[in-house]
Structure 1
C-alpha cells in the first residue's frame, strides 16, 4: 500500500547487515541514518510481512512549501481549512491536536504562521516520526514490537494524537499507529477470561485500540447502555485516557475510567500477548489501570463495564462579555467551592472554565435528576452571590440554563462534539483538590486566583467527586495504580497557557510552559500532599512519581515495568522508569541529542 513512499525514504539508509541487538536500555536507540538502523532490504521485508502497512511520513504542512517534494496546493488548502478540526487531525498519522509536538523548535519545524500561502523553502521533519506502521490487527502490533526490539529502535505509539505531553510523537522515531483498530462488541453478563463461572459478571463493551469515545457512546446507546468516558468525542477510548486514569463527567457516579476497565489485551515489548484482568496477569492489570500509556505494553483491546442508560439533568452557562473584577472572580470560586462537595455527592460531573475577567463556560450533568432538581443544587451559590453584589452577579446567575437529556449519548452528541482548542499550542499544568480543602473555601479561592495571576490564560475546574467517595464512586482504589489523591478528590484544576495564536503550526517557546508551571505551583505548594492527573499535568512537574502515583504505588509499578520491559523500549516523558533512566538526559549521547531534545527547558 505504502511501498512507493517507503522506498523513496529508504534510499539514504545504509545497507550493512547487522546482528540481533541486545544492548542495555541506557544505550541510545537506533535512529534513521545510523549504521545500526535496519537496512533497505530488512525494512522492505518487514513491510511485506505487514502487507505494506509501513510508510515514511513528513509533516503535513509540507504540502504548503514550494520547495518541498510534497508540495501540493490543493492538499495545502485542505490542511489550512481543517487544522482546527480535531477529527481531521486524528485521521492523519502525522498530525497532532497540539501542533507544538510536530515541531522541534523554530529552527527545525514545518510551522506555518501568518501571511499568504504557499510559502517558500522546504519543510523540516521536526518532531514528527519518520516512519509509521498502520496497525490493522493485533498480529501487526506483535510484529512491530518484535522488529523494534530486534533493532533497538526509538519508537512512538500513537492512537489519536490527543496527548498533551508529546508522548505519541518523537524525533527520529518509528511510530506504531493504532487509529484504524476500531472494533467494538457488546456483551451482557460478561465474565473476564480465566475467571470461573462463579465470578461476578457485568455488561460490557469490548473496544479496539483505535475506537473513539463518540463512536463508543453511539454504539453502546444502540443497546441502551452508556460507558464512562472522556468529554471529547475524538479521544481514543483504549489509549492514554484510560491507561492514565481517565476522568469523566460520569466519574462522581461511576468512578474513573480505570475503575470501569475490566480487562485488556496487551502486547508486551517482548512481543508476548497477555490477557490481563483480576484473574490472570493481575500485576500487569493493576499497572495498566493508571500506570500511564504506553509504559508496560501496547493495549490492543480493552473491556469496559457498561451501565444502563439513565436520563441526565443538564446545566449550561456561557459568557464572553461579562466583566468580572478580581474580587468577583474570587467570590464566584468561593461560592462554587462551598457547594462543591454537595454537588459531587449528588452526582454532578462537569466543568467551569474562567477566562480572566470576561469569559466563563460552565457545563455539566447529574444523572437521574430533573432540570429543577439540578437548579436547586446550585441555588445556594446563586443566593450567596446575589447577596454579595446583586448588581454584578444578577446577569451571571441569569446565564444558567437547566434542562434534561434522555441519555448520556444524547447529551454528548452536542456537548462533546467541539474542537476544544485543537490546532493551538495549549500548555497544561494541574492539581487534584482533595475534599478536606473545601473546609476553607475562601482560602482555596484565594490560591486559585493567585495561580491565575501568574500569567495563565485561563483555568478549568473539573468536578470529579464529593466528600463521601471522592472520584472513586465506591470502587476499590487498591485495584488501580493511580495516585491516592483521586480517592478524596472533589476538583481537578488545570491552568492553561498557549504557545501560539490561532494559526496552523507552532514553535515551542519555553515561556508558555514556565507560565503554566508557575500558575500550578501555587496549588502545588498549598497542597503538597495531593497529586496530579498524569494526562493533563505540568510538563515540568517537580516530582512525577509522587504526583502521579504516590511513592508506594510507584515502587510497585517500577518493579512491574522492569519485569515486562527490561530493555526500557517503551520510554516516555514522565512515564514509569523515566526518572530512573535519566529523565531529560536519557540518550543525550545520541547523534540528535536524544528523544527529548525537542522539548523546551525552563529555569
Structure 2
C-alpha cells in the first residue's frame, strides 16, 4: 500500500473535525482510507441539533425538472447564497472552500496591468502544464471560458474588436472551489450545489479540450489531491471472473504517477499518452486510448470497480454485481455527468519489454511536398500490419516556417524487441529511401513500459489559442491502396488549407467489441484516428480567427465525416461543437446512456459540454458567434 506524505496529517485533522464520522485506520481493496470518511444520515441527524443541515442533506426523492428553476443560480440572483451561507459551507468542509482568484490576477493587483517579476514569470511559464495543473481553476481550454484573465501578452484580442487593453475578471471560472480530501467533502459539495441550484463542475488537472471543468457561477469539486494508490496482489470479484493483480487509484492520480507506481510493483497499466493527464477522470471515463490499446484495448475495458458519489449525495460502489447500470455507463460514457468518481480498481498486466522510435522529416528545396505526401502514403499503407503487431504511433503534421514538418513523437511497439521492430519497419524505410525522405530514426528498447513511456512522450504544452476537431477512420477506409489514397487526400486537403494534424495508428484487439461497457463502438473498428487543429496569434483579427474556427466544424471535418459514415470520434479530443455528438461519441449506445443519466440524475445536477443529457441545456452567449460560452448562464431549453 502507498500513502502520500500528507495523508496521515489530514486524517488526524478530519478525526478532530468530525469525531462522529466512521473512520478506518487504513485503506483496503474496497476503499482508500479517506473513502471511509463518509457523510451519513446519522451524521446529519447529529448535526441537526446545532445547525441547519438542509443544504447538506441527501436527496431521497428527486424533483421533476418541470418544478425546478429554468436556469442555474448566479451571483446577483436573489437565491445566490449569502456570505454567511458560504462561510457555513466552508466550516462544514473544514476550511476547504477556495474563493476563486484567477491565476493571472497577480498581473492586475489594482485592477489594471502592473508589470512585475511575478507577472513576467507567469507569462513565461504559461504553457507549462505542470504549473497550470497545480492551480485550483486553470484549464487547458481557456478559450471557451472566455480568456477573461490572462497574462497581458496573452490577452485574447481576437475575441472581440472592442478589447483594447488587458483586464482580469473571474468570467467563466468557478466562483468557488472545494479542495476535496475525503468522500464527505465531495458529498457536501454535491448536496450544497444541488440544494442551492448551483452549477457544479469537476476538475482534476483541467487537461481537457472541451471546457468541462469550468462554468460561470459554479462550484468546482477539485479532486487533484486524491492521489492514494494501492497495489492489490490478487483481485477477485465480479461476474467477469478476473483474478490477478490490480491497483486502486484515487481520482487525483496522473498518468506519470500511475506508471511510476506500476514500475515499483513490476506490472503494466493501460493509461494515456499525456503525462499530466488524470488517469481515472475524464480520460478513462471517456474510454481512454493508450499506447497499449493495440495490444490490450481501451483503458475503460480494464476497470474492475468504481467508487462514486451520485447526484443524490450518496456514496456507492459500482461493479459487475452492484449498481451495474452506472458501472456500465461510467466505463466509456463520459465524465462529469453521472457522478464524482473518487477511486477505481484497474486490472494490471505483466511487465513487458517495449521498443520505441522517434523521427522527423521536413519539406525543403530538396524534399518537395509531393515527396512528403508520397512518404505519408507509404507509411499509412502498412497501418494494419503495425496495429496487428500491437503497435501504436502518435505523429504530427504541422506548418513550421512555411514548410511541412512531420514527426513521430513516438512509435510504441509493446512486447517487441528492437530486432523484431526494425525488421517490421524495414519495408517502409526502403520505400522512403526510394522516395528520398530525409530521416534518421532513433530506435530504443526498454525492459519495461514505464521507462519507455518516460522516454517516448515529452510533457505536453498548455495551449490556449487553438481549436480542434477529429475523426475515426475505420479499417475499411484503409483496406485498399485506392482507399488509402482517398483517406490521405482528405487529410492533405485540410493541411493544404491551413490546418495542422495529429495522426494515430492503433486498433482495438480482436474480441474487444464483445466487452459490455459504454465505450464508443466506433473505437472497435478503428485503424487511423486523425485530429485537425488550428492555432493563431492572440492579436489576430476577429474575422480571421472566426473563419479558422468555423472551417474546422463546417468545412474541413465534414470531408472526413463524408468518408466515414457511421463512424465517430473520441469525445475527449473532439470538436467543441461536434455535430450530432450523441452519435459521434456513443453510436447506438446513447439511448441507454441517457436512460441511465435520467435514472441517477434527473434534476441535472451534473452538466458538461457535450456530455450525456447536455442537450437539455444551453448557454446564453456565444464566443466568435458560434462557440457556446462557459462565461454565460446555463439554462434548460
**TM-score for the superposition, normalised by structure 2:** 0.81
**Paired residue for 2:134, among 78, 91, 109?**
91
Residue equivalent to 2:199: 154
Partner secondary structure for residue 113 of structure 1: helix
Residue equivalent to 1:578: 614
Matched, 1:252 2:294: yes
**Paired residue for 1:450, among 483, 493, 504?**
493
User: Per-residue displacement from partner, 1:283-323 (whole Å, max 9, x unpaired)?
Assistant: 11110111111110010001111111111011110345656
- The CA distance in 2 between the partners of 1:143 and 1:71, in whole Å, is 39
Aligned-pair distance for 1:482?
Answer: 2.2
User: Per-residue displacement from partner, 1:373-417 (whole Å, max 9, x unpaired)?
Assistant: 212222222233333x3xx32x23xx2222201211111223334
Partner secondary structure for residue 228 of structure 1: coil
1:289–1:481 CA contact under 8 A, matched in 2: yes
- The CA distance in 2 between the partners of 1:425 and 1:178, in whole Å, is 26
Does 233-242 or 310-319 show the bigger shift?
Answer: 310-319
Does 558-567 or 514-523 show the bigger shift?
Answer: 514-523
User: Per-residue displacement from partner, 1:448-474 (whole Å, max 9, x unpaired)?
Assistant: 111223321x11111221xxxxx2453
Aligned-pair distance for 1:74?
Answer: 4.8
Report the CA distance shift for 1:562/1:70 in structure 2 as closer, same or farther (over 3 A).
Answer: farther
2:520–2:586 CA contact under 8 A, matched in 1: yes
- The CA distance in 2 between the partners of 1:594 and 1:18, in whole Å, is 36
Aligned-pair distance for 1:240?
Answer: 0.5
Counterparts of 1:374-385 in structure 2, within 5 Å, are 374-385=421-432
1:252–1:348 CA contact under 8 A, matched in 2: yes
Partner secondary structure for residue 350 of structure 1: strand
Residue equivalent to 1:14: none
Where structure 1 has 5 or more consecutive residues not aligned to the other structure, the ranges are: 2-16, 466-470
- The CA distance in 1 between the partners of 2:629 and 2:64, in whole Å, is 17
2:357–2:441 CA contact under 8 A, matched in 1: yes
Matched, 1:490 2:531: no
Counterparts of 1:522-561 in structure 2, within 5 Å, are 522-550=559-587, 552-561=588-597
Matched, 1:425 2:481: no
Where structure 2 has 5 or more consecutive residues not aligned to the other structure, the ranges are: 1-9, 11-51, 56-61, 156-163
Residue equivalent to 1:437: 477
**Paired residue for 1:235, among 255, 273, 277?**
277
**Paired residue for 2:411, among 355, 364, 378?**
364
Residue equivalent to 2:388: 345
Residue equivalent to 2:445: 404
User: Per-residue displacement from partner, 1:164-216 (whole Å, max 9, x unpaired)?
Assistant: 01111112211111101111111022124xx38x9332311111011101011
Report the CA distance shift for 1:423/1:488 in structure 2 as closer, same or farther (over 3 A).
Answer: closer
Partner secondary structure for residue 383 of structure 1: helix
- The CA distance in 1 between the partners of 2:80 and 2:545, in whole Å, is 32
- The CA distance in 2 between the partners of 1:89 and 1:35, in whole Å, is 34
Residue equivalent to 1:42: 85
- The CA distance in 1 between the partners of 2:194 and 2:296, in whole Å, is 39
Counterparts of 1:33-182 in structure 2, within 5 Å, are 33-68=76-111, 73-103=116-146, 108-113=148-153, 122-182=167-227
**Paired residue for 1:415, among 430, 433, 456?**
456
2:203–2:222 CA contact under 8 A, matched in 1: yes
**TM-score for the superposition, normalised by structure 1:** 0.85
Report the CA distance shift for 1:369/1:183 in structure 2 as closer, same or farther (over 3 A).
Answer: same
**Paired residue for 1:514, among 537, 550, 556?**
550
Aligned pair count reads 553
Report the CA distance shift for 1:140/1:66 in structure 2 as closer, same or farther (over 3 A).
Answer: closer
Partner secondary structure for residue 358 of structure 1: strand
2:198–2:217 CA contact under 8 A, matched in 1: no
Residue equivalent to 1:312: 354
Aligned-pair distance for 1:133?
Answer: 0.6
- The CA distance in 2 between the partners of 1:66 and 1:121, in whole Å, is 13
Residue equivalent to 1:565: 601
Aligned-pair distance for 1:77?
Answer: 3.5
Report the CA distance shift for 1:269/1:112 in structure 2 as closer, same or farther (over 3 A).
Answer: same
Residue equivalent to 1:10: none
Aligned-pair distance for 1:114?
Answer: 6.3
Aligned-pair distance for 1:523?
Answer: 0.7
- The CA distance in 2 between the partners of 1:127 and 1:512, in whole Å, is 23
1:67–1:120 CA contact under 8 A, matched in 2: no
Matched, 1:285 2:327: yes
**Paired residue for 2:229, among 184, 191, 194?**
184
Residue equivalent to 2:265: 223
Aligned-pair distance for 1:326?
Answer: 3.6
